[in-house]
Chain A
Amino acid sequence: MSTYVLPFEKTIVELEKKLDELRSFSEDQDLDISSEITKLETKLEKERVSTYENLTAWQKVQMSRHPLRPYTRDYIHKITTKFIEIHGDRLFSDDQAIIGGFAYLDKQKVMILGTQKGRDTKSNLECNFGCPYPEGYRKALRLMKMANKFNVPIITLIDTPGAYPGIESEERHIAEAIAVNLREMFTFSVPIISVVIGEGGSGGALGIGVSNRILVLEHAYYSVISPEGCAAILWKDRSFAEDAAEALKLTAQHLKDSGLADGIIKEPLGGAHRDSDAVAAKMKSSILKHLAELQRMSSQELLEDRYNKFRAMGVFAETPPDESS
């Protein structure tokens, strides 16, 4: 099914190949080897379950970057109707690394936007491999302000290695663009839901991620720094990315356990790309469920809810002054 094999999928792919050979052999020779086939099928299924249900943090990072994985635009097409795309930040350009517009989720009107990766060289150059420039964040802000004006809930889909670390990004103040989004997203009185669908790369992800609900796909990750970046700094060697991924506790499961994520959207065995319709359907129903809850809140309650959510994030100790002398 997939033409791109991750390192830990090799055994599975070999078994799949063998099974195919056996099947065609049986057809061509008109031989009954169904018991062998069943045996192999069972073995394959076992192997798939044991591999995919026990992915390590690093394997999940690899999965989240799988080139066949559905991207923001795929999900927009799969879960919404009548998508009206909105372009540009009205300041500098139309960054293709963040796309968005108005659409319907069933009958529910929403503003849906997200970071967009490319599938081939041409599209990757257009959207800069999913790394937004400052104008991407300013475009997102423009769209979200418009949604707030028309009282439409905001859905953000996150899939980026990070904001683009380039000369132009600095010249046009990418840090400021992200910071302003963080502040302004606390002022919108409509429900905001964000879904990490692939890579949740640091500030570049958070720049469209201040929401009332944070949902994470089963094999997506959300981290303060890429495992490679962390390895380069702490281990002084990028090849320790696997250790860094483990240490950073960046998987959907870790984030749910630590209260940073509100829900996990389950993926088909083998990852979202194996059945993108199924994962899109699950995502849609999860968004609608959370939206329905949020829509019972008043504007003021939504603002409080979002503030309190982020206000509570962070673990520290506080020694009372009388014990410290």
Chain B
Amino acid sequence: MAFFGKRILSFRNRKKDTPGGLWDSCPSCKEMLYLKEMKEAQGVCTHCSHHFSLPREDRIAMFADAGSFEEWDGDLTSVDTLKFTGTASYTDKLAENLLKTGYKDAISCGKTRVGGFDVGLGVMDFKFLGASMGAVVGEKVTRLIERSTEARMPVLLVCASGGARMYEGLFSLMQMAKTSGALARHAKAGLPYIPILTHPTTAGVMASFATLGDVIIAEPEALIGFAGPRVIKETTQQDLPDGFQRSEFLIKHGLLDMIVHRHDLKQRVVDLLNFWMPESSQRPVPVDGPMGIKQEDVVEAPTKNTPAKRRKS
């Protein structure tokens, strides 16, 4: 598989991601969206502020100071260790998802700079097998946390997940413990950890690193929970309350610290890091870099309109 260049694949993938061509309708407000404009608005509907899922490169670019992201462990690959016998082979599923996304597994991790602070950043990608956590996701998250602990860096994890990866059996469940153990050490070292919960974050990821933050931030209207709504409905035979398991429901029930509009996310993280981290650890923020994203584009986008005005009430 080595001959598949990552760049070629992500290019091909990006074309696939815009099925309607230049325009598409927003699933939330049904307004027609000029996709280029929506993409420039970091995957936020320009009419109703609906948050679309964001390709991982865009998510990284959104947080990383220009050109500062250095990927770690991008070559880790999942293995069909159980020789899973089922409807489809795990190996085929992995190959299919590699082709679909251009990545070897459901998370990209690395060191980056956010507002001048060195940060360990992980970004989960729901497009890859529902961002389920198997040994690769668990290992990459654990290495990210361990290296960040060693380098005295905060950790920022953009979460999205359908849960543990069934194809890896109990090994996948144990990644919950592994990652939580690494976070115990990171916390003991007095370092900040911020999980950012995006739509949807559930099950095994939710019951491990997604809920262990010093502060837990969520994007608006994200589905966040342990069990899926369908399972809960089937088990309890009860109607689910309005807005159940959405960010707005969970902040009311005391799980989340804040719901932050995507355009304000980076600034909010930087504000927190400014508060927590020693001033001496902050470096000057560069303006441009190989990511091709100008820093002011990322930071200034939200100030054009105040997000509160554009948000659905």
Contact = CB atoms under 8 A, between A and B. Distances in A.
Interface of A: 163, 165-167, 169-176, 178-180, 182-184, 186-187, 202-203, 206-207, 209-210, 222-225, 229-230, 233-235, 243-244, 246-250, 255, 258, 260, 306-307, 310-311, 313-321, 323-325
A255 B82 CA distance: 11
Given A173-B211, A178-B207, A243-B86, A183 B75 contact: no
A179 B207 contact: yes
Interface of B: 2, 73, 75-79, 81-82, 84-88, 134-136, 138-139, 142, 164-166, 168-178, 180-185, 187-188, 203-204, 206-212, 225-227, 231-232, 235-236, 238, 240-241, 244-245, 253-255
A170 B225 contact: yes
B187 A314 contact: no
11 contacts: A171-B253, A178-B176, A180-B211, A182-B180, A183-B212, A246-B85, A310-B174, A314-B136, A314-B168, A317-B78, A318-B75
A169 B235 CA distance: 12
A178 B76 CA distance: 28
A315 B135 contact: yes
A175 B210 contact: yes
Contacts of A207: 207
A227 B211 CA distance: 27
B79 A316 contact: yes
A313 B175 contact: yes
A183 B193 CA distance: 13
A125 B241 CA distance: 23
B173 A206 contact: yes
Given A224-B173, A248-B82, 9 more contacts: A165-B231, A166-B238, A175-B206, A179-B210, A186-B184, A187-B188, A224-B172, A313-B177, A320-B75
Interface class of chain A by DSSP: helix
B207 A203 contact: yes
Contact of B135 (A171, A182, A210, A316): A316
A94 to B, nearest CB: 21
Contact of B204 (A203, A235, A250, A315): A203
Contacts, number: 203
A171 B210 CA distance: 16
Given A176-B211, A234-B87, A165 B184 contact: no
B177 A210 contact: yes
Nearest to A307: B181
The 9 closest A-B pairs by CB, nearest first: A314-B135, A165-B227, A182-B180, A315-B81, A175-B226, A175-B206, A176-B211, A313-B174, A175-B207
B136 to A, nearest CB: 5
Contacts of A250: 169-170
A167 B135 contact: no
A183 B171 contact: no
A175 B235 contact: no
A313 B253 contact: no
A319 B87 contact: no
Contact of B207 (A166, A174, A209, A248): A174
A318 B235 contact: no
Given A179-B208, A224-B173, A310-B177, A169 B76 contact: no
B211 A179 contact: yes
B170 to A, nearest CB: 5
Given A179-B211, A314-B174, A323 B2 contact: yes
B166 A230 contact: yes
